[in-house]
Amino acid sequence: MTTPRFLADEDLRLEIVLATKRLEPSLIFTTVAEEGLSGRSDAEILASAQRQGLIVVSHDVNTLKALAEERIRAGSGVSGVLLVPQTRLTRPIAESLIVIWGASYAEEWQDAVVYLPL
């Protein structure tokens, strides 16, 4: 069993990534830019995240949700997708990510599409 690791897509506010890392420095939360995926399609990002075992965190509650569900139905799967409405405050999102990181295994999020905060 492995610890959850997160990937922020290009839509996610950077302040969420920074706040999460500030509250829990040992947590792995990388960005699309850091992974060399800037400008790639959502489908490519989901595929890359699946290969790397990264849970995608995004504000793209419509398109990304549909693509993730399509991958799950097709048997390609996702390592997990956590969707955050734009209007949500930063701290509750960061705290939810820390709870996920500290209280679950990455494998539990396989093929899950969940809205945050929890």
Q: What is the mean pLDDT of residues 41-46?
A: 96
Q: What is the mean pLDDT of residues 91-108?
A: 97
64: pLDDT strictly greater than 80: yes
Q: What is the mean pLDDT of residues 39-65?
A: 96
Q: Going edge to edge, which strands form the sheet with 55-58?
A: 29-31, 6-8, 55-58, 81-83, 113-115
**Which pLDDT belongs to residue 21?**
98
| Nearest-angstrom CA–CA distance, 71 and 78 | 7
118: pLDDT strictly greater than 80: no
**Which pLDDT belongs to residue 75?**
96
**Dihedral sign computed on CA atoms, order 41, 43, 45, 51:** negative
Q: What is the mean pLDDT of residues 33-61?
A: 96
117: pLDDT strictly greater than 90: no
